[in-house]
Structure formats: structure tokens, C-alpha cells
Amino acid sequence: MRKRPHKKVLVIRTPRCCPQTPTPSPDPPPTADATNDNANIGLNSAVGPNPDGTIPFLINFTINGSSISHTRGSSQIFLQQGVYSVTYDYQVTLPGGNVLITLQGFLDNVVQVPLNSGAGTSSPFLGDTTGFGAGSAVINVIGTQQALTFKVGPGFPPFGSFFTFSVQIIKLS
């Protein structure tokens, strides 16, 4: 009787070990949202511009985080490096009526054109000697910090004043 050739069987041995349970990855450390840094700064009483045309802000209504700082009464809002959403509105009283003003936003001494806004009055009709203005833009603050200011031009009426002014600043990144 002929012997059948021995058939080779390939055996793959697996390590004898208890089944491994996946180790849960640790939760990522909580990261602070950039928007934790935000501020609402302005005024709510009649205030005229400084001799250089900048607007002094009397109220720090809200300042959260460390990226935005402002001293009450100062026209400068200091922003640390980053990207910020800036939105503002104001109500301005311009004696004489029929007056057009332009307000400009600056970072240090560089005008931020998208932040500019205008306001007009039409005495004795709409608002009489009162005008309303608003502006908004995303701005990029470079270096350690820069000063955000708002400024009117030399044609601003001598006895004109801002009755309300509200600047909303939100750090985006």
C-alpha cells in the first residue's frame, strides 16, 4: 500500500494573551475659545472729540480676557496681536444741521479704511441736528500690540459731540 504524502499544514500561532481592550485616548485639554477675549467700550453722554479729533471713551461696559485693554477716558483701545471683529455705532449731535461727517478707524497711525463710517444731519427734519453712523470690519493686529482709535476730521463742527458710542470687539483668532 502506498503511503500518502504527509500534508504540510501551516499553523500560525498567535500569542496567547488576553484580548486587548482599546485604551481610551485622553480627552484633549480644554482650549480657550478666542472669543473669550471680547469688549464693549464706549460712552453714553455728550462728549466732544479731543483736539486731535480722537474720540475719548468713558465706559468700559464689558472687558473679558487679557487681549483687549482700555483706560476709561482714553481714546486708545489696546489690542494684543491677533485677528479681531470690530463693530461700532454712534449717535452724533452736530449744531447747525445739514452737516456730513466722516469717522475713521486707526490702528496706531494707520487708517483702517473698512472701518470708516459717515453720518449726516438734515435740520430741521430727520433727527434735526442728530446723525447716526455705524461701521464694522475684521482687522489684523500685528506686533505685540496696537492702539485702536476712532477719529473725526478737521471739518468737524466746533460744538459737535457724540451722544452715544458703542464699540464691540471680539477676538477671532
63 class by beta-carbon count within 10 Å (0-12 exposed, 13-18 middle, 19+ buried): middle
Q: How far is the CB of 64 from other proteins (least distance, A)?
A: 6
Between 106 and 165, CB nearer to other proteins: 165
Residue 166 found at the interface with other proteins (CB under 8 A) = yes
- Choices 2-10, 54-62, 108-116, 146-154 (CB under 8 A): range interacting with other proteins: 54-62
Q: How far is the CB of 146 from other proteins (least distance, A)?
A: 21
Residue 164 found at the interface with other proteins (CB under 8 A) = yes
Handedness of CA 126, 157, 109, 80 (dihedral sign): negative
Residue 80 found at the interface with other proteins (CB under 8 A) = no
Residue 149 found at the interface with other proteins (CB under 8 A) = no
| Selected binder of other proteins within 95, 98, 114, 128 (CB under 8 A) | 128
| Strand 77-93, strand 100-107: pairing | unpaired
104 class by beta-carbon count within 10 Å (0-12 exposed, 13-18 middle, 19+ buried): middle
| Strand 59-64, strand 117-120: pairing | unpaired
Residue 168 found at the interface with other proteins (CB under 8 A) = yes
- Choices 14-22, 59-67, 76-84, 138-146 (CB under 8 A): range interacting with other proteins: 59-67
φ/ψ of residue 165, rounded to 5: -155, 125
Residue 58 found at the interface with other proteins (CB under 8 A) = no
**100/98 Cα distance (integer angstroms):** 7
DSSP classification of residue 47: B
Asked if 161 and 129 touch (Cβ cutoff 8 Å), the reply is no
State the binding string over 103-122 for other proteins (x if CB under 8 A, else -): -------------------x
List of residues contacting other proteins (CB under 8 A): 33, 35-36, 38-40, 42, 44, 59, 61-62, 64, 87-89, 91, 122, 124-128, 130, 132, 134, 136, 164, 166-168, 170
